[in-house]
Amino acid sequence: GEDVEQSLFLSVREGDSSVINCTYTDSSSTYLYWYKQEPGAGLQLLTYIFSNMDMKQDQRLTVLLNKKDKHLSLRIADTQTGDSAIYFCAETTTGGGNKLTFGTGTQLKVEL
Amino acid sequence: EPEVTQTPSHQVTQMGQEVILRCVPISNHLYFYWYRQILGQKVEFLVSFYNNEISEKSEIFDDQFSVERPDGSNFTLKIRSTKLEDSAMYFCASRDSASGTQYFGPGTRLLVL
């Protein structure tokens, strides 16, 4: 079945860039997503990338996709304390119910 | 901006009791989902729903679970006889057909005692 893996923790200093990595196994993935979850809160969609793209930039966020290696990354430029949260990558394929398969989540801690 | 809403935000129940979790998806979305997240674990897919029927369900979604769209706006998840291991955050999502993106509600935290 599908599997999505992420490293569990990342700590960065305020103002630095953060890079959160994700690997997935399903080669038929069509959309890949990044969601942010703050403590006690729901899942906020940050950005997504279609599988025929290599890169997508949205303000401070840059998503890179290496489809050959099944590797997805999220770069947050000029990381702020408000970026501290858990970041989930998720993938889906077309057809059927289009369910999302989530990664384990990466806890990002931003230090002053 | 339209958003998915869920009620209640928290629910405490006794083991064996029935619970109904409610969701109001975004109004022009046609695909609806329930996911759950046990504390400290991954978000797991439970079920997807389209055109008034289940389109896909996971192994977790056994006979104790059911979903319904009782009217034009609500989407509900019923757990018939709750177990301790049903304690989790339950998220509803609805999907924008144009972009394929799923938007999540704030979740209902269910605690089974």
pLDDT tens figures, A44-101? 999 999 888 899 999 999 999 999 999 999 999 999 999 999 999 999 876 667 899 9
Whether chain B has a CB inside 8 Å of the CB on A47: the answer is no
Handedness of CA B32, B60, A31, B21 (dihedral sign): positive
Nearest CB partner across the interface for A96, out of B42, B56, B93: B56
For residue A1, pLDDT beyond 70? no
Q: Which residues of B touch A99 (CB under 8 A)?
A: 33, 45, 48, 56, 58
Compute the average pLDDT of residues A8-12: 95
Compute the average pLDDT of residues A21-37: 89
Whether chain B has a CB inside 8 Å of the CB on A48: the answer is yes
Please name the residue that has the structure tokens 């690997």.
Answer: A23
For residue A103, give how far its alpha carbon lies from the nearest alpha carbon of chain B (Å): 7
Whether chain B has a CB inside 8 Å of the CB on A84: the answer is no
Under an 8 A CB cutoff, do A97 and B48 touch? yes
Please name the residue that has the structure tokens 């953060």.
Answer: A18
Under an 8 A CB cutoff, do B104 and A41 touch? no
Under an 8 A CB cutoff, do A45 and B101 touch? yes
Compute the average pLDDT of residues A26-55: 88
Say how far apart CA B39 and CA A50 lie, in whole Å.
30
Say how far apart CA A27 and CA B8 lie, in whole Å.
38
Nearest CB partner across the interface for B55, out of A43, A88, A97: A97
Residue range A87-111, pLDDT digits in tens = 999 998 766 678 999 999 999 999 9
Residue range B22-47, pLDDT digits in tens = 999 999 899 999 999 998 888 999 99
pLDDT grade, residue B49 (50/70/90)?
very high
Residue range B53-102, pLDDT digits in tens = 999 999 999 999 999 998 878 999 999 999 999 999 999 999 988 778 89
Under an 8 A CB cutoff, do B106 and A101 touch? no
Under an 8 A CB cutoff, do A105 and B42 touch? yes
